[in-house]
Amino acid sequence: TYGLQFHPEVTSGLIANWMDASPDFEKHPGGQDRRRQLDGAARHQAAADAWLGAFLGLWTGGQRDAGTRRAAG
């Protein structure tokens, strides 16, 4: 059994869309300003992609590329 506590499928583009849809996102507890949020997403994206590819490979019995996809932004 696996449990995930984050969403590795989320892209920087999706994060930007969420922020656009909620202009007061910075006011929420733990909220970060737009630049900091997008910088953090960019900084951790490659590691999240690598983790997701490895996890899906294990989960699908070695089909490492199963479900991995990442569009820019």
For 51-60, the pLDDT digits (tens) are 888 988 888 8
Q: How far apart are CA 46 and CA 1, in angstroms?
A: 25
- For residue range 7-47, what is the model confidence (pLDDT) as tens digits? 888 888 999 999 999 888 888 888 889 999 999 999 999 99
CA 23 – CA 43 distance, rounded (Å): 23
CA distance 10 to 41: 9
**What is the value of pTM for the model shown?**
0.62
Cα 60–chain centre separation: 20
